Structure 1
Amino acid sequence: MTMYRFAFTFLAGLLAVAYTAEAQQSPFVQQFAGSTILLTNGDTLRGPVTLRRDQDVVMMAQADGTVTTLSAVAINSFAVKGEDRDSRRGTGYYDNFYDARNGFYYGNPMYNSRRREESDVNQVRVFRTYRWNRGNDYSDFKSPAFFEQLSNGPRILLRRESLMQRTVSNAGPYGYGGYGYGNPYGGGRSMGTYTEMKDDFFLATPAGEIIPLRSPKKDLLNVFRGQAKQLEQYAKQNQLNFTVARELAFIVNYANSLTSEGAK
């Protein structure tokens, strides 16, 4: 092995270690034991991957110790499984969306089960690349980004994660009149912040347009205006919540079933 190749392999190893450490700390990094990646050039890659959600890149370690980094522009779609569980993600994140991706919904003659699927990191998750304005409604510039597919089409429910920072106050040992822990001035409460992850939902049209569902119920009913009353009745009868990912996926599938062409 030449000195150049040794240095390159050693550097790649350091990068892999750094990414592993970062994956344990950052909520925007996810690691998967297996993946199948369909590239835009038609090639297919398989193997363990690290997904950088904040940068929309996938990193795959190679047999020679190097790390291949693929941006969203190079990827058509990918499926992953065997995720390292993150306790900071709320219940429901690891739900199985296999049935929803296949178009099932409550009331579908082919899908009569009301049982909630068990949360399992070994279930396959599917991500697709869409061009997106990054939430800037006043910009025409769109760049490729990864979205997790939660439902079937022709209108597809998608999900991305975002961070929300919250401020909390900690009362002192004697309530408002005591001394707050971490408060050098005492006399009340100490303030702190913590970061939690939240789901951001989108709807993809057959033409590839991305519609943000900032207020899922209001925005979804606006998209499916002609079926709004039916959707509200369906959600009520089946006790479905527009803000719960798996339940919203069933609502979208039902909305798609009401018209063969989707909403106009």
Structure 2
Amino acid sequence: MKAVRWLIPVGCLLLGLTQGLLLPLAAGAQGTSSRAQLFRVGVVVLNSGDTLRGPVQLFLDRDALAVTMPDSTVRTVSAVAVQTFAVRSPILPRSAYYALSRMGNDRARRLRGPQRYRQFLVYRWNHDRPTSNFTSPAFFERLNGGPVLLLRRRYLVERTSSRTLDNYTTPANRPTRPMQVLTTYTDVSDRYYLATPAGAIVALRRPKRDLLAYFPAQAQQLEAFASQHKLSFDTEEGLARLVDFANLLNEPSVQ
């Protein structure tokens, strides 16, 4: 089964998203959790041809969406019923702001996520079980142009950080020993994949190794390109440029 690729005009999709900006965030969609990702603006195109607009909650662990409609009702759909969807304006769980306050600008931008429109496609996938022949429809975020696509599944995960309190006193105003304080916060975990023109999913478990293995004839040129432009094989930006460059090298007109 081949994945859906831009089956609706980009202009129509962005128009729907712009209209979605005018919709209020319904109370029924305000909750977030470590597994759910909430976006203020979303457009979901179903296989039936219907289009849903409103705040979108993405449950990546079960590949389902909950869309808050203009009348405040919530419609839930699974990946098997979805053709494509696009979102913007992510809402972070409250605990994520602890991570933002303690990390550098690069990681903070990564956790906040891009404010541009993000398109998701549906592919049949074995859920990273190499020995299994069973596949089911799953959501993947599209990160480049193609024909070989770079895809991502971004998970919200709970992490724990510890810090030491040196200067504090008890209610009786007696000094105490340093105390370790544990804080739980929300971070992101990205997993990258390639989608072949035939619709197969290739996991990039070790991105550099697996990307070069997929493009063996272009491996030397990809490494030189990464070195010349200071691109990382472990970031969205670096991988997207490298996959696009590999696609360019594979074009028949390029010698």
2:153 is aligned to 160
The answer on 1:35 being equivalent to 2:42 is yes
1:60 is aligned to 67
Distance 1:163 1:59 in 2: 17
1:80 is aligned to 87
Cα distance 1:165–1:34, how it changes in 2: closer, same or farther (>3 A)? closer
Q: Which moved more, 1:162-171 or 1:82-91?
A: 162-171
SS at match of 1:219: helix
Cα distance 1:137–1:179, how it changes in 2: closer, same or farther (>3 A)? farther
In the superposition, the TM-score normalised over structure 1's length comes to 0.69
2:51 is aligned to 44
Aligned length: 209
The answer on 1:227 being equivalent to 2:234 is no
Cα distance 1:243–1:92, how it changes in 2: closer, same or farther (>3 A)? farther
Distance 2:184 2:30 in 1: 26
1:248 is aligned to 239
1:20 is aligned to 30
Indicate if the aligned counterparts of 1:33 and 1:81 stay in contact, CA closer than 8 A.
Answer: yes
Unmatched 5+ residue regions in structure 2?
Answer: 1-25, 101-106, 168-175
Indicate if the aligned counterparts of 2:52 and 2:67 stay in contact, CA closer than 8 A.
Answer: no
Cα distance 1:92–1:236, how it changes in 2: closer, same or farther (>3 A)? farther
1:146 is aligned to 139
Cα distance 1:193–1:81, how it changes in 2: closer, same or farther (>3 A)? closer
1:93 is aligned to 110
Distance 1:135 1:235 in 2: 27
Deviation at 1:68, TM superposition (A): 0.7
Indicate if the aligned counterparts of 1:159 and 1:202 stay in contact, CA closer than 8 A.
Answer: yes
1:124 is aligned to 117
What amino acid sits opposite 1:74 in the alignment? A
SS at match of 1:93: helix
1:103 is aligned to none
Unmatched 5+ residue regions in structure 1?
Answer: 1-15, 96-118, 182-188
What amino acid sits opposite 1:225 in the alignment? P
Deviation at 1:164, TM superposition (A): 5.8
The answer on 1:136 being equivalent to 2:153 is no
Taking only aligned residues, the RMSD between alpha carbons, in angstroms, comes to: 2.8
SS at match of 1:37: strand
What amino acid sits opposite 1:47 in the alignment? G
